Structure 1
């Protein structure tokens, strides 16, 4: 894109006949636009608007959130006391990583029940074997051997239940149990302190998965009928290096069927991949690509400014510049994509924008 300095008229010739200023040739000002400001002695860099294809539908505000399945609560099987807490909020954890060591009284009784069940199975096995032998020798009735076999089956069932409870508790002989992360992700909530109680009805830990995020979008009324599920979206995240950004892509998941009567906007949801610097609750600007078959122009981002709540550029007319409202649909990588208000070939100011705004307001 061509960048060149442009000097305005000499002092004292503000908003005078442009024909005399341009060597006798009359400069035509488009209908509906007033002659722009003329700042003497001010060097202004300019750029020519270039035609571009695949203009997105628009850029809208959005807020990053987590999908419903991304949060997992970690609860202990039994209430107890936290002996040690191993993590803090915001810490990254892998699946199976220890979160806390908890000691409870109930697992101790479970261990005792397990020991008794094992002993009862041993006794029932020995009695059943003895009764079966006596019945085979005709010393006792077979019914008594059958009763002993039934008692053995009952003892084995009790042992299996005790083993299952012991496995669920995951406790040691002293009733201690280690709470572990069920997924890889980030610790979003720590609700227990060392020495504090751990209630089996409340989750002392919440883990957030590190997968894709959701973005809640607010579509203006003009885009309500154009945006459809499946359309591509893009978010530009700052990299922290010389103002550079990194694009993160996703797609529209759903669009609300009605318009909010107060905001005159439509709510939509999009999915976007995880990326460094992207966190839940963050406000971002989302570019909706749509079908990618639109046309428009691109200019340096420095050419665009806000006047009266709308985007404007200062377009050169002869030796002066005039503000013009434009519709910016994307702004990334130092380039602003304009869908309406500017055509290819027109020249806009890319520097001294503050001075131009001040002069145009006089």
Structure 2
């Protein structure tokens, strides 16, 4: 009798286990059956508007619907191989069209948490390739085939706070006041004597015979590192800087469209000027044996322009600058901050 009871209990237990397992399988199947799948859409970027950008570089979940429990999901991260466009929005979610490039392209309609994204600003430098260049010249070798600055270094966005904290770290004064430049107001000239004993005279005012444009020259001082007297030349709306050698009068006068910034540790000069055609020009120079500027690198960036007089060295291989989008007509309305690193 005891054996019969034990066998009966075992049989009942086995039936219960099988029954539970069967019920469990039915639940999983039911869950899969009700899982909301992503809606596939045509891979058509041209018709999309209102592009979204990640607030930071953290991974984000893309949901097939606003029901986060029953939705198919995909983990996405900030990557140049994908683009996300806003379709609609609510208090918590953005409905988006998601496009992934590459060997296995995807195009889904889905939903993301609103807090993880921001709307594209048409003048934001986040939306352009900051390393894109039109041409470059390294140590006299011209290259208009390579279209990226990455062969020399990198350009990236930094915060305004970082810019303000780091500016002036590496800039060194290279022009000092001097008593060796005489001003003769009666005949309207600056004059100085070279090391070889020659007297050099520079008109304070001059009128171009062809254009009738008047230029006004202002003495800025003497640069020991360049062994040159430095002058600012204002002609209409244009400003140039001239460098006259103190060594002898036969050396050709050097001109710059902007006053370079100097890093004492590397003995290098940096210039960033807006180009009349495209973007801006970066010039990194050293010194030759005659204390003259010797250009090391020139690069024409195409996707941004710079705010004048905002360039600063922060170490021997990096400069920072205030910049804005090339399509922006008012350069004061929205500016951002760039770190340019190079290894020459």
Give the TM-score band, short-chain normalised.
under 0.3
Structure (1/2) with the larger strand percentage? 2
Structure (1/2) with the larger helix percentage? 1
What TM-score does the superposition give when structure 2 sets the normalisation length?
Answer: 0.27
What TM-score does the superposition give when structure 1 sets the normalisation length?
Answer: 0.26
